[in-house]
Amino acid sequence: MSAGPVKNVVIAGGGTAGWVCAAALIKQFGALISVTLVESDEIGTVGVGESTIPTARTFHDLLGIYEKPFMQAAQATFKLGISFENWARDGDSYFHPFGTVGRGNWMGDFHHFWLKARDAGATEPFGAYSLEQQAAMQNRFATGGQPALSYAYHLDATRYAKFLRSLAEPAGVRRIEGKIRTVVLDPESGDIDALELESGTRIDGDLFIDCTGFRALLIGQTLGVAFDDWGQWIATDRALAVQTESVGPPVPYTRAIAHGEGWRWRIPLQTRTGNGLVYASDFLSDDEACARLLRDIEGTPLFEPRPIRYATGMRAAPWTRNCIALGLAGGFIEPLESTSIHLIQVAVTRLIQAFPFAGMSEAVTARFNAQAVREWEHVRDFIILHYKLTERDDTPFWRRCRDMPIPDSLAERLALFRDAAQAYQGGEDLFRVDSWVSVMLGQRLEPRAWHQLARLVPPEELSRALGDLRHLIGERVASTPMHEAFLKEFCPALESA
Ligand SMILES: Cc1cc2nc3c(=O)[nH]c(=O)nc-3n(C[C@H](O)[C@H](O)[C@H](O)COP(=O)(O)OP(=O)(O)OC[C@H]3O[C@@H](n4cnc5c(N)ncnc54)[C@H](O)[C@@H]3O)c2cc1C
């Protein structure tokens, strides 16, 4: 591979992926490399991607981003988890909270003790032991306090990209407005040499980051890197997005409401609400989807619903030659668990750790790609879980989901939980044991047994410990301000941001 040192980084695309990457690279390596970003106002961005997970906070720490100005600029609200409605059965609901559920014990995960108590007649749901879930259900939120809440953000995607730009440009990122016409390859090596814009400007570089969204101009259209399609497991392939006026105080959680052929999101920001309908075009027409979305949203739409088509899957090798694909150019898994921005941020972090200052290395590239595949497959399995474990048979779509074959990696997890209530988080896995357990129980997967070590705790002692835990959570929640009041006090949205 190329022996030349890497000094000039060119980022193609200025959506969330492009600006996340630009801001992080300049912050970490400003004195060592030059970073140029090309974006086209005429093409614009995908304009969605508003719900995050707690890892966003770690990434912001890396960038030295203060929470208050970020929240104000992105008109953001806080998020404690996701409410899943109508998934296992029409009329059901469960919550996937951030943070820890219950209290661990050296003998085993909390859910074994909860299962034992339930077998003995206790009726409190698993989520009764989640501080985040209880706070969310009462619409309460504050930073600080003990025990601390684990949280993420709902943000305005366009304003977020602008905010990152406002950090990256003064730090040294050179932004060029223009449409890329040609990706110029070195005739001998096949590596990317430069981007040529419609204006005739040529931008040379050593490393190219493809953040051109679904177009995948560099990694797909030019280098022809294969796309591994996962549509056989995740049948949804279209979305309609629309913003509405707020109709009440913003809740500190995302809602994912299943319908006959997919699901609908509801993401509350400080100044408006983001809504969207995700659906499978094999089962629902675009017109029906639009009518359903407009029928079900609350609040006046601020514009016509915007259609988005997508394929689920990822590039077989997101780092190929001197090009790395980030964001939608690298792949897409629908936003049911709000994982896409996380996958961008974690890839950028890995790029920083493995930055090829001395030149491209096949070993470094191979490891980067192997880690990406493992991460993406893990997220994919977690999403499939929600569809596969449905008991709904009211539409052909849900019957297909229920009856479809699933990847072996997921089948193994389901068997472990069904047989022995076991769940685990592997080395590069995003989702923790509590996440798997919350969703598997929420989707009505009932374990046949729990770990017998839980028997070692006498029933009265267990009952007392669980009661104490609920009391502690109750007190903590009661002393937490209402979410809306905290937003107004701490980080009121800047209208002009
Ligand atoms: C329906 C839907 C809902 C989603 N919800 C969530 C969510 O809740 N949470 C989450 O984490 N993620 C979500 N995502 C994913 C999230 O939107 C993306 O991961 C994120 O916005 C990154 O997008 P991007 O920057 O890769 O692409 P884009 O935003 O599409 O940006 C592409 C950039 O490339 C530029 N460009 C393209 N072609 C050219 C050219 N020829 N010349 C110059 N510039 C060019 C464009 O101008 C633009 O700046 C969602 C995605 C979809 C489709």
- CA 487 to chain centroid: 23
* Backbone dihedral region for residue 433 (phi beyond 0: left; psi -120 to 50: alpha; all else: beta): alpha
Closest approach atom of ligand 1 to CA 341 = 11
Q: What is the 46 CA–ligand 1 centroid distance (Å)?
A: 4
Could you report how far apart the first and last alpha carbons of the chain are, in Å? 44
What's the CA gap between 334 and 239, in Å, rounded? 9
| Residue from 477, 493, 486, 367 nearest 99 by CA | 477
Report CA(92)–ligand 1 centroid distance (Å).
32
pTM above 0.95, yes or no: yes
Residue identifier of the C-alpha nearest atom 13 of ligand 1: 49
Q: Which residues line ligand 1 (CB under 6 A)?
A: 13-18, 38-40, 43-46, 48-52, 157, 179-180, 211-213, 215, 217, 239, 241, 276, 308, 310, 327-329, 335, 338, 340-341, 344
Q: Which atom of ligand 1 is nearest to the CA of 157?
A: 21
Report the catalytic residues: 79
Residue with tokens 């009505």: 444
- Find the 210 Cα to ligand 1 centroid distance in Å: 11
Cβ 22 vs Cβ 173: under 8 Å: yes
CA angle, 384 then 399 then 285, to 5° = 90
Give the closest residue (by CA) to ligand 1 atom 38: 212
Cα(102) to centroid(ligand 1), Å: 37
Q: In this predicted structure, what is the pLDDT of residue 88?
A: 98
Q: What is the pLDDT along the chain (497 residues), one digit of tens a residue?
A: 455 899 999 999 999 999 999 999 999 999 999 999 999 999 999 989 899 999 999 999 999 999 999 999 999 999 999 999 999 999 999 999 999 999 877 677 999 999 999 999 999 999 999 999 999 999 999 999 889 999 999 999 999 999 999 999 999 999 999 999 999 999 999 999 999 999 999 999 999 999 999 999 999 999 999 999 999 999 999 999 999 999 999 999 999 999 999 999 999 999 999 999 999 999 999 999 999 999 999 999 999 999 999 999 999 999 999 999 999 999 999 999 999 999 999 999 999 999 999 999 999 999 999 999 999 999 999 999 999 999 999 999 999 999 999 999 999 999 999 999 999 999 889 999 999 999 999 999 999 999 888 888 899 999 999 999 999 999 999 999 999 999 999 999 987 54
Task: Name which residue sits closest to atom 16 of ligand 1, judged by CA.
Answer: 49
